[in-house]
Structure 1
Amino acid sequence: MSKTATSSRPVLTGIDTSGAYPVHYRFSHAKSGNRHLVVVFANFSAPDDYGWSNGVFDNVRANILWVRDMFDGKNSYYLCKDMDFELERSVITLISNVMHSLGLTPDQCTMWGGSKGGSAALHFGLKYGFRNIVAIVPMFRIGISVQKRPAIADFMMGGQVTDDRIEILDRVIPDLVRAEANPRANLYLLSSPQDENYGVQVEPFLPLFRGYENFNFVYSDSPFITDHTTVTRRNVPALMGLLNLLVDGIAPRIGFVTNGHEQPDVDRSGIDSYLKSTSQVRESFSAPVVVSPSAGERVADAKVRFAGTARGAVRLSFWEKGKYVGSPPVSPDGSWSWTRDRAWSKGEHTVRMFAVDADGFHSPRAEATFTVTAHDSLPFGTEERIPPQERRAPAPPTISYPAPGQHVTASEAGVAGYAEHALHVTFAEGGVSLGSVPVSADGSWSWSPGWSWLPGPHTVDCYAVDAEGVASRGSGASFQVAGAAEPLQAQAPTGYFR
């Protein structure tokens, strides 16, 4: 089972292929035998299209299922491609498989998301009868929302962004609410008048919830909220408090409630079997074979040539000491060879690698061990001294998140954007290397550092690096990390509650 470094709690990754569309997921087991499942949907700026995956759920006791909104390289609101809603059915199949593997029921589940993810939490929670729904600044009129993102609109509507198709998507959630689908749900909806979408996307639909037994609207009105993206960040502490209550079986309302029901010794064979069968690492997918360098070989030249075979793979992924090194392609006959554009440092090296197939599944790991004996080798990460006129640097990466000077919390700061014709993007601050991430086939990339930033201003320099190892000029991502968040001060407007 492959692991990710999105938070401090152990996380497993997998792909559920039982539906028409493969659905990528991350999963983390509950703490202390807790019997609850939180399903997390992603917003548009979520790193790697997994929402809330930066450690904010570390202290939540429940099982956590992060569902990735990336299908054929595009976001979809977890709904459709070319108006084909089999995509939605593939997503609910994944959620149901995980829930049943844990031996849980919809009454023991919470749907959670913000913005696009908030819409998904509402849609799946209402339509499929899940007990708890937390929707943070959701978009009710999905058709109008995706019009602002033409590539996603084309993907969802099959290149025909017509009034009829916009209306179909606009009605997906409102029609469920009008029909009072799942009226016993514990519904928590958060929005703010400072959100530029509030007047069109939220306020007109609030009266529709009058028939719901436990509908709660958190109206967050604060001078520190400046736009759609800051509503969530301002309310994270209160939202985490609410989530832990829901996990404990307490839905804030008048009446008698119970909590607890942990089962530390519960049989986990069902979920373990499911996670193994859908793991992104496939034992049946052979690990790469390394022909060169041979195990323990002493290499006199700091330019080391790797070669071997990887049947069924389209590319390899190389790592050393937990850091990404490169991703060479694999020929149709399974052969591959690769020489890094930068010299290896003198001394011993252990490079680990795995193969990746066309569907994104990983093979088990292989490794190459060698020792560089050259005395003139350059330090690891130093660019080879090639005359500038022979280099053709790629364009600097475009930063899509955060906005210049945007205020973020210490645990949420990350960077995302696009880098056409680049293999990976590297990051530095004040001349200190912070790491790198690979660039997706569509040019998109996102990076979450895995640590909490110190309060104050930060500028992360981002560099696009192409397959030849040539780095672009830097693009600066500037943001302001706030100190400790203040307690939520929210007052709901009158008229929305019975």
Structure 2
Amino acid sequence: MGIIVEKLEKRYEASNGVTLTYLEDPYPVKNAAGERKLLVIFQPVGTEGKEDRFKFPYSLIDGLRYYNCRKIYIKDNFGELGSFYIGLNGSTNIYSAVQEFLMKKISEYKILKKDVTFYGGSKGGYASLAHGFDLGVGNIVSAIPQFKLFDYISRWKPIMFDVFPTAVNDSIKDYYNNFLKTKIVKGYNKPNVFIVTSRKDELFEDHVVPLIETLRESGCRPHVWENNEEYVLRHNKVVENSLNEILTMISMCLSDEKIRDFFQ
């Protein structure tokens, strides 16, 4: 990596007592056109068995180096492997803190919400959708996101059960399984949504299919791109084999509207 992350990390103390760790513009904007665009990057699930500094790495810092826009990388270093940017032990305090932080930065930068793009893969993809619809941003690029959170953690990541309350009943299960759906349905703004997925992803049928249905039923027209090539073997191989397409989508979101019109 071309930069020393630890020296550039910042902390945000939210009004509810949560401390967020983030990285802001490691490679600065070039001009006024870049200053009016914001790209927020949410992180995937942490890596088991690693020390904290290696367990929760930032995504695409060097990969986005030449993108002329403001960038914020938000770390989800709570719990065993992250909190899905929601909270731990049944709390939503981290979710509230992230919302507060992002609203403050958007206001500080004097950026219109239509010029804000959220990106994330897997857990980050889930967060980009939930926070994106809640805040009413202009664009969301979400790769291989989960949809039914309780079902996902129960089956695939039981180590992350610390997201839920100690006592789990059917009401709690429904709340977390419908958390993202509720944000999409109640979202006052219908952003441009790009979904990167694969039929070889273990989550495709149970998560991606109902997600796309919900987006369409809510009035969105998601742009869905499937990478079903033979070298894509499972969930955690989709993003690394689809970076050209992911970066293209982010580029389109950040580009001038005249360029977008050219490709339509």
Is TM-score (shorter-chain normalized) higher than 0.5?
yes
Q: 1:129 aligns with which of 122, 125, 136?
A: 136
How has the CA–CA distance of structure 1 residues 160 and 95 changed in structure 2, closer, same or farther, with 3 Å as cutoff? same
Asked whether the equivalents of residues 142 and 194 of structure 2 are also in contact (C-alpha less than 8 Å), the reply is yes
Map of 1:399-478 to 2, 5 A cutoff? Answer: none
Asked whether the equivalents of residues 185 and 212 of structure 1 are also in contact (C-alpha less than 8 Å), the reply is no
Asked whether the equivalents of residues 132 and 246 of structure 1 are also in contact (C-alpha less than 8 Å), the reply is yes
Q: CA RMSD in A?
A: 2.6
Partner SS, residue 208 of structure 1: helix
AA matched with 1:206 = I
Asked whether the equivalents of residues 139 and 145 of structure 1 are also in contact (C-alpha less than 8 Å), the reply is yes
Q: 1:23 aligns with which of 20, 24, 32?
A: 20
- Are positions 1:203 and 2:199 aligned together? no
User: How far apart are residue 207 of structure 1 and its match?
Assistant: 2.2
AA matched with 2:38 = L
2:259 and 2:214 map into 1 onto residues whose CA distance is 21
State the Cα deviation string for residues 129-151 of structure 1 (Å, max 9, x = none): 01100110000011111223333
- Are positions 1:186 and 2:192 aligned together? yes
AA matched with 1:174 = K
User: How far apart are residue 191 of structure 1 and its match?
Assistant: 0.7
AA matched with 1:149 = K
User: How far apart are residue 256 of structure 1 and its match?
Assistant: 8.0
Aligned counterpart, 1:402: none
Aligned counterpart, 1:44: 45
User: How far apart are residue 113 of structure 1 and its match?
Assistant: 0.2
2:81 and 2:233 map into 1 onto residues whose CA distance is 28
Map of 1:38-77 to 2, 5 A cutoff? Answer: 38-45=39-46, 47-71=54-78, 74-77=81-84
AA matched with 1:188 = F
- Are positions 1:111 and 2:108 aligned together? no
Asked whether the equivalents of residues 12 and 101 of structure 2 are also in contact (C-alpha less than 8 Å), the reply is yes
Aligned counterpart, 1:241: 248
Q: If each structure's strand is expressed as a fraction of its own residues, which one has the higher value?
A: 1
1:127 and 1:233 map into 2 onto residues whose CA distance is 28
How has the CA–CA distance of structure 1 residues 106 and 214 changed in structure 2, closer, same or farther, with 3 Å as cutoff? same
Partner SS, residue 55 of structure 1: coil
Asked whether the equivalents of residues 39 and 64 of structure 1 are also in contact (C-alpha less than 8 Å), the reply is yes
How has the CA–CA distance of structure 1 residues 53 and 235 changed in structure 2, closer, same or farther, with 3 Å as cutoff? closer
1:103 and 1:85 map into 2 onto residues whose CA distance is 27
Q: 2:226 aligns with which of 197, 219, 222?
A: 219
User: How far apart are residue 183 of structure 1 and its match?
Assistant: 4.5
User: How far apart are residue 252 of structure 1 and its match?
Assistant: 8.8
Percent identity between the aligned chains?
Answer: 17
Map of 1:73-472 to 2, 5 A cutoff? Answer: 74-147=81-154, 148-153=156-161, 155-179=162-186, 181-210=187-216, 211-250=218-257
1:167 and 1:131 map into 2 onto residues whose CA distance is 29
How has the CA–CA distance of structure 1 residues 177 and 221 changed in structure 2, closer, same or farther, with 3 Å as cutoff? same
User: How far apart are residue 176 of structure 1 and its match?
Assistant: 2.9
Structure 1 unaligned regions, length at least 5 = 258-498
The structure with more radius of gyration: 1
2:206 and 2:124 map into 1 onto residues whose CA distance is 18
User: How far apart are residue 18 of structure 1 and its match?
Assistant: 2.5
Asked whether the equivalents of residues 41 and 50 of structure 1 are also in contact (C-alpha less than 8 Å), the reply is no
Asked whether the equivalents of residues 20 and 98 of structure 2 are also in contact (C-alpha less than 8 Å), the reply is yes
Structure of greater relative contact order (alpha carbons < 8 Å, 6+ residues apart):
2
1:251 and 1:213 map into 2 onto residues whose CA distance is 22
How has the CA–CA distance of structure 1 residues 50 and 110 changed in structure 2, closer, same or farther, with 3 Å as cutoff? farther
- Mean Cα displacement is larger for which, 65-74 or 81-90? 65-74
Asked whether the equivalents of residues 37 and 62 of structure 1 are also in contact (C-alpha less than 8 Å), the reply is yes
AA matched with 1:41 = F
Aligned counterpart, 2:50: none
User: How far apart are residue 49 of structure 1 and its match?
Assistant: 1.9
AA matched with 2:11 = I
How has the CA–CA distance of structure 1 residues 227 and 219 changed in structure 2, closer, same or farther, with 3 Å as cutoff? same
- Mean Cα displacement is larger for which, 135-144 or 158-167? 158-167
2:212 and 2:198 map into 1 onto residues whose CA distance is 13
User: How far apart are residue 98 of structure 1 and its match?
Assistant: 1.8
How has the CA–CA distance of structure 1 residues 132 and 249 changed in structure 2, closer, same or farther, with 3 Å as cutoff? farther
User: How far apart are residue 51 of structure 1 and its match?
Assistant: 3.6
Aligned counterpart, 2:31: 32
2:44 and 2:178 map into 1 onto residues whose CA distance is 20
How has the CA–CA distance of structure 1 residues 137 and 36 changed in structure 2, closer, same or farther, with 3 Å as cutoff? same
Count, aligned residues? 249
2:258 and 2:148 map into 1 onto residues whose CA distance is 27
Partner SS, residue 233 of structure 1: coil
AA matched with 2:23 = R
Structure 2 unaligned regions, length at least 5 = 48-53
1:240 and 1:117 map into 2 onto residues whose CA distance is 15
Partner SS, residue 9 of structure 2: strand
State the Cα deviation string for residues 140-186 of structure 1 (Å, max 9, x = none): 01111122333321x2113234333222111011223344x244311
TM-score (norm 2): 0.85
